[in-house]
Amino acid sequence: MNRSLRLFISIASWLLSVAITLVGLAALTFFIGRVLPIDPVLSIVGEKATPEVYQKVYLELGLDKPLWQQFIDYLGKLLRGDFGTSFSTSRPVLTDLVNFFPATLELATIGLVIGVVLGVPMGVASAYWHEKWPDHVLRVIGLVGYSVPIFWLGLVGLFVFYYLLDWVSGPGQLDVFFVGVVDRVTGSILIDSALAGEWEIFANAVSHMILPALLLGYYSLAYISRMTRSVMLDQLSREYVLTARLKGASEFRVVAGHALRNAAIPLVTVIALSYGGLLEGSVLVETIFSWPGIGNYIYSSLFAADMNAVLGGTLLVGIVFVLLNMLSDVLYRVLDPRSRELRR
């Protein structure tokens, strides 16, 4: 009885802290959208609006009410899924976001897979050969990934692999004559074309996707390999590794079976965080590759001075960020028996 009560309290306080973070996020976007602009109405209707239109929007926004009341109204609208209307597409922002999000998710997920598949072994190798030449080489590769402006790398990649070598397809999700052929089911072009059995389109999508996905993969690889290295360094210096070696376990077994298994738990957190980073990194990559995702949506809304869309996109990515953090927290507790032990 006592134990379940304590469990309930800890879950409740944890949920409360997630809720506070989400409200804080909403407060930030509220601040940026309503408080910062000198005149929020003007930023919506533009300079040439008639006084009647101005007055109408002024009342619609509820600017005659006190600020805290406005914020409560704003929160209420967000909870009902009302992110406002985009003035450039004249659709609800939420509809737009739902339309554009799958493309971003697809790109970021493939990028993450590339980052994990390459980054974790790189980090392990780097830790295993600590301060030897493989470590130096791998660290420099990682540091380059940290330091390179990703949008510039995208341009260079397009120039070299699309224009000079013609190995991959150019910007966009598909070649022009394939656009709209496949019915939209999930919004992910790979899944949709595979479901429709259109393998030619599938191949075309792959050749369009490969460059931006590799870029995002490299972007996340830098972080993942660095963190893997430091976690593995810590594990490899523990005594149980020495014990395993003394008992005659093979080096592969020591590294992969013992050290990496223990390193896997903190790595889950790292990977969840870098997934959030990828969603953000895709903003710049999408603008380079004209990828029809959230990033491109935010980018084009910026030029239309469409703050509802910009803030809606920011809020969506922010919410995903917070939820990923939360997920990594949960996974950590589920995976690590020690943290469960402590809570009893």
Partner 1 sequence: MSTTEIVADPRHAVRAARWAEFKLFARRFMRNPLGVAGLVIVLLLLFAAAFAPWLATHDPYLPNLTSRLAAPSAEYWFGADELGRDIYSRLIYGSRLTLLIVALVIVTSAPVGLIIGAVSGTVGGWVDAVFMRITDIFLAVPKLLLALAFVAALGPGIVNAALAITLTAWPPYARLARAEALVVRNSDYVNAARLAGASEFRIIVFHVIPMCLSSVIVRMTFDMAGIILTAAGLGFIGLGAQPPLPEWGAMISTGRKFIFDQWWIATIPGAAIFIVSLGFNLLGDALRDLLDPHLRQRK
Residue ranges in contact with partner 1 by CB under 8 A: 17, 20-21, 24-25, 27-29, 32-33, 36-37, 43, 136, 139-140, 143-144, 146-149, 151-153, 155-156, 158-159, 163, 237, 276, 279-281, 283-284, 287, 298-299, 302-303, 305, 307, 310-311, 313-314, 317-318, 321-322, 325
CB of 129 to partner 1, least distance (A): 16
**Integer Cα distance of 127 and 155 in angstroms:** 33
CB of 328 to partner 1, least distance (A): 12
Q: How many CB atoms lie within 10 A of CB 222?
A: 21
Task: Check: CB of residue 224 under 8 Å from CB of residue 270.
Answer: yes
CB of 149 to partner 1, least distance (A): 5
Residue 24, phi-psi category: left (phi > 0), alpha (psi -120 to 50), beta (remainder): alpha
Query: What angle (nearest 5°) sits at the alpha carbon of residue 307, between those of residues 305 and 310?
Result: 105
Task: Check: CB of residue 45 under 8 Å from CB of residue 305.
Answer: no
CB of 277 to partner 1, least distance (A): 8
Dihedral pair phi/psi, residue 174, rounded to 5°: -150, 160
**Integer Cα distance of 315 and 333 in angstroms:** 27
Nearer to partner 1, 201 or 307 (CB): 307
| Residues with Cβ within 8 Å of residue 35, at least 6 apart in sequence | 67
**Partners of 92 in the beta sheet?**
85
Query: What angle (nearest 5°) sits at the alpha carbon of residue 19, between those of residues 17 and 24?
Result: 95
CB of 200 to partner 1, least distance (A): 26
| Residues with Cβ within 8 Å of residue 177, at least 6 apart in sequence | none
Tokens 């005594």: give the residue: 239
**Integer Cα distance of 322 and 21 in angstroms:** 8
CB of 37 to partner 1, least distance (A): 5
CB of 180 to partner 1, least distance (A): 27
**Integer Cα distance of 81 and 101 in angstroms:** 15
Nearer to partner 1, 94 or 317 (CB): 317
Write down the number of H helices and E strands in the chain: 15, 0
CB of 344 to partner 1, least distance (A): 25
Nearer to partner 1, 115 or 193 (CB): 115
Single-letter amino acid code for the residue at 265: I
CB of 138 to partner 1, least distance (A): 13
- DSSP assignment of 161-192, as one string? IIIIS--S--SSSS-GGGTTTSPPSSS-HHHH
